[in-house]
Every structure is written in C-alpha cells, then in structure tokens.
Structure 1
C-alpha cells in the first residue's frame, strides 16, 4: 500500500472511475465533490470524504482535479474554502480537466508562490478508458514533479507523457480534441452521404472497419449510430467548449472553423447527448 495520500476533486462521469483506479491500487484517497451524494460508492471502497477543497488539501500530499471548465477550477482554488486557503507547500496539484492554458498558467504561478507544484495533465479517452485505466495523459509543468507523480498517473492511463512547460498539456489536449471533432463530423457526413446513395450504414461501417481508415473510434461511434444510442460518453457541449478554447489559442484552419460552427449550431438541441449526436443534427 502506498503511503502517498491522494486527494481527488470532481466526481463526474470521468472522476469516479478514475478515483476508483487509485483506490484499487491501494492509495489512501480522500474525495470532494460540490454535489453531495456522488461519493457513496467510493466510500464503500474505502475513500474518505472531505467537506471542502481546503479540508481535502490539509490531509493529502497529491491533489488531483477533474472538473468541467475554467470557472470550476477558479472555484476549486479561490472559493472561501478553496485550495488556496490551505497550506500547499510541498504538495503537487494535478489538474486533469480540459481547460485553457491561461488558467493553468495562472494557477501554476499561484502554487509556485506557495512552494507547491501545479501540473496540467488532461486526458484523451472517455468513460470506458477511465474504467479500465487506459487513458492517454499529456502533462505540462515541472518535469521533476511529473516524474514524482508518474506512478500515480500510470495507474490511470496506458501512457503518461510530459510534453513541455505549464500549459503544454492543455495545448496538446486541445489539438487532440480538435481532431476528435473532425473525426466525428467526418464519420457522420460519410454515413449520411452513403445512405443518400442507398448504401446501408452497417455495410459502410463494415467496409470502413476493414479499411486503412478504420480505427477504434470509428467502430465505437459507428456502433452508436447504428444502435441509435447517444447517451453521453463525451457530451457534445464539451466539444463545443474545447473547440472554442482552441479558437482562443489561435487555431483558424478551414476544417477547425467549420467544425466549430457545426457543433455550435447543434449544441442547443443535442448538447447533453454524446458528440456523435452530430449525426442527428446533420441528418
């Protein structure tokens, strides 16, 4: 059993299975979530529950955050009982949320002033990969701090890679999610075009799956379209957020601009569904 005490903030669709991986690896884990009630299954596995980020920080060595956006990060750090109210000296804070490089640089500077390390470490992968410890983790920040917590990250993912200084992990994630949007819209448009020409979706997907262009993503999302199953593994509203962040960071290529408009147009109707619901929006 590891003696490193881990604090986990954020128990959403990704946070719960990721925290479970660390509990199974016999790390002492303390959790906090804004909405009460989400910690019950982790408590049954042995997790402790803190009443605030401040309280969580006071009893842990490494703090991992998995929340929705920049605003949620600011609340975690700066609220009345937030992390900044605790003594952070010597601690490593790992922000695994998909947020802007700007918020990471801001929080990293604040942490450094308290002699603590901040790493931006967003993940590629969805709920299934979180449940099986098969995420891909891209990390920005101090490389020595990354090496110190790499054994923890390796419990969460199949690849944990340092890619540069603070904000680099966020930049890498925005690049990957831009490709995710292009993949999703491209798959949807391809199936719709084939359908218009009388080709069945199942037949087309069988062809794609056996061709060089087939991959795990086209298989999973193709099956979702076939089964008319759009429960969110990664909500469409989140890809809109990420494409906007990428735009703010300067991405302005033709496909990226088109994808942003397509997903923005669909958000009001399909935002809570999986991003592959873009198929319904385009249909």
Structure 2
C-alpha cells in the first residue's frame, strides 16, 4: 500500500526564531491619566461663619443653577467688592474645572470653568494685565464667548482668486466652507457642519493656505478631559478649528466646524443639573 500522507516540516517558532534585525515593535503610548471630578477640600464651619459674602454668593449661584436652561440669558454674580477672605473661601469651594477660555481683542478676558460645570469664573484685564473686574457666571458657555468669537469676521470670497498649483484639498475645503458659511447667521443649527481634515490628504502647504485664508479669531478654548481638545475661532463667520490631542499631546483628530459654539465646549443640561445637586450638597455641609 502506497503512503500518500503529507509530510510535516518542523518550523521553529517562538522567541528567538525570527531575525528581527533593526526592526523594533513600537506601540503608540496609551493614555496615562484622565481628569475627573474631585470633591473640593471644604473649609471649616468656623471659617464659613466669618465669610457671609461668600455664603451669599453661593446662595445666588444655587438659585441661578436651579433656574438656568441652556440658551437662556446668562446670569452673573459680581466679585469686585467681595472681601479677600470671602473670595478665598469661594475659590476653595469652587476650584477649577476642565475648560479654560481666553478672549483677545480690545480687552482680554480670561475664563475658567469651576469644578461645577456651567459655573464660570471671568476676569477682565487691562493692557497691563491687571484685573479690572471679575464675576461668576452661570451659562452653558459665557455670553462674552458668543459676543467676541466672530467680531470683525468676514465672508469667505473665493471668486477670481488664483490659488497655488501645488495644493491638494485646500481649494475644495475652502469652497465647501464658503458655501456653508453663506447661510450661517449666528443661530445654532440643529447639526453643526463638520469637515474632518484627518480623513483628507492634506499637505503642509494645504494647512498653511487654509490657515492664511480663514485667519485666527479672538476666542481660544481648551477642554481638558481624556486628552485635550483645542478650539479656536477663525475670522470666517461661524467657522471653528477643533483639534483633539491624546494624553501624550499627539494630534488624533483635526476638524473644522461651522456652528455658533462647538458642543464640546458647552455645558449640557445634564451637567448643569448635576452642578446644582453638587452645590446643594456642599451648602448642606457648610451652612
């Protein structure tokens, strides 16, 4: 009887069986940390008793959080005349949250979200960098962001413009921006118009030309959570540059959004409700 079996060859496998040469297996670094909500270190009851203005401000914040709905008129609590001890106590209670905003222009405004989403600390600075006024504001996004984001913006006009011949996709992206922005009137659309640059062949010349034609606006927003999100207004009405970075500061998503304010920067209804509940708990402990 003839043996028609298939021969089996013993091929070495496992550690040391492959010739690696100069090849190195290199994995992208995994995110190492994530910003989360931590309950602030609350002051002692005796310190609270000595700071009635801070207690009054927290009462006002509670009323505003309970009544505010996203899209309604923002409300604020002035801090200019508050005694230093009261202000320090209030700072201790509110802490710093994930979103920071800088507004440049005739007057610089620095904005920091507190640990309670939807409660913002605003500082107006003069030309010497001195604080001229400050307040707390309850809003999905501070009113000054909407007011100054596209101040001095212009309509993108590409007619009769000769573009560099070596561009890849910048011309088509600019044409899409010009078309969509024509209908933008500063009112939030049901869905923002998003252009994902990460999915397009985009050369350094494309990026440079796009930045030159759209310009840089007066509002920069940094949202720190699982990685960072940098949001910058442009000089084209309604157009934002939204870039996502991982925890090792590598750009992982590069987009353009045509909307009033990108949703990632705003406190949602659920966030505001949660902040109201947190403040109730804090006040119950302190007062």
TM exceeds 0.5?
A: no
Question: Which one has the bigger helix percentage?
Answer: 1
- Where relative contact order (Cα < 8 A, 6+ residues apart) is larger, the structure is 2
Structure label with greater radius of gyration: 2
> TM-score normalized by structure 2?
0.25
